[in-house]
Amino acid sequence: MTPSEVLFDGIAPKTIPVCDHYCGTELRMKKAMTLQNDMGPCFDITFDLEDGAPIGQESEHVNLVCQLIASPANQFNRIGVRVHDPKSPHFINDVKTIIKAVGNVVAYIVIPKIDSASQTIDLISKINEYAQQLDYRRNIPIHVLIETNLALADVFNIAAIPQVECLSFGLMDFVSGHYGAIPSSAMAQDQFEHPLVKRAMCEISAACHTYGKIPSHNVCTNIHSADVVTSDSLQAKNHYGYTRKWSIHPMQIPLIVQAFSPSDRQILEAINILTSAAAANWGPIQYEGRLHDRASFRYFWMILQKAHQTGSKNLTEIENLGWF
């Protein structure tokens, strides 16, 4: 039996790639697909129809996005799409075009500018209804952008919606939505210091972990300093419990993947503890003077799952365990 079957009754918490790379022009989308094929599915790509896309060519752009997702260059089916704001006249066309063209392979749909759980449920119902009309059997995973005070106030109810897979913090819109009450520096270097931003980060992360969803940390606007990208990623991961982060530039992708990957020490510790646990039929064990039982086994199994997903250099040793 695999650890998931033993420790989670066969239903382990969902894991998805730790990096979510946004791009919205043809050149950048094709470049991202080439990079994903080179690196493997250790990061997702989100094709952007909203803020990162050209204005005035909305129908042409969504068709291009669908052509790329349906192309042989999409080797891993780990490409999602951020659609327009639900209040936009382009929202319905985005959804219908995506579902009709690539409803069976699109990794997820990202819905921005959400205000409440009831609104989210209504939008998901419309998406599912249209998918059923086309005889698609799957419920497309939904990612929700939390970027308004109203959404933050209802974040636990949003996270509780079964089809919602991930909540992303839209830092820049969140700060802008305070109309100058939060300084612009909180969009960058002060995001981990400003109380209102810290509160938002914590609420989103806590809501996700309550309902087994993925909290995705916001954009790092610095596309030149590897140290800043790495520092932001580690703070989001280690201090706020985020398990995924946006990328807006190809140089950020390997830095985010590395920061969110378990260390070699963590991986080897997890291997040793879980192999000892399996040998003891998953009963309590001692390891280096500490007691471990199924509570800590679950933690170390998630470490190995993340290491497997991010392409750790210990991958051969992990796969030799026979659990993947």
Overall average pLDDT of the 50-78 stretch: 93
pLDDT at 41 over 80: yes
The yes-or-no verdict on residue 15 having pLDDT over 60 is yes
pTM of the shown model: 0.91
What the block records as the tokens of 284 is 């309590």
User: In a 10 Å sphere around its CB, with 0-12 CB exposed, 13-18 middle and 19+ buried, how is residue 38 labelled?
Assistant: exposed
pLDDT digits (tens, 9 = 90+) for 173-232: 999 999 999 999 999 889 999 999 999 999 999 999 999 999 999 999 999 999 999 999
| Mean pLDDT value across residues 126-138 | 91
User: pLDDT for 71-95, tens place per residue?
Assistant: 999 999 999 999 999 999 999 999 9
pLDDT of res. 315: 77
Of 305, 307, 319, the residue nearest 12 (C-alpha): 305
Residue 236, pLDDT > 60, answer yes
Which of 27-36, 47-56, 91-100 has the lowest average pLDDT?
47-56
In the structure, what pLDDT confidence band is assigned to residue 321 with cuts at 50, 70 and 90? confident
pLDDT of 314 reads 78
pLDDT of residue 12: 65
User: What pLDDT score does 189 carry?
Assistant: 83
Cα 102 to chain center, whole Å? 20
Separation of alpha carbons 1 and 11, rounded Å: 13
Predicted confidence at residue 10, as pLDDT, reads 57
Q: Which residues partner with 245 through β-bridges?
A: 19, 217
Question: What is the rounded CA–CA span in Å between residue 177 and residue 126?
Answer: 27
CATH 3.20.20.60 boundaries in the chain = 19-260
Question: What pLDDT shows up at residue 222?
Answer: 92
Report the percent of the chain where pLDDT is more than 70: 99
Asked if residue 28 has pLDDT above 60, the reply is yes
Structurally, what CATH architecture does the domain formed by 19-260 represent?
Alpha-Beta Barrel (3.20)
The confidence score (pLDDT) of residue 308 equals: 86
Q: What is the mean pLDDT of the chain?
A: 94
* Res 154 pLDDT > 80: yes
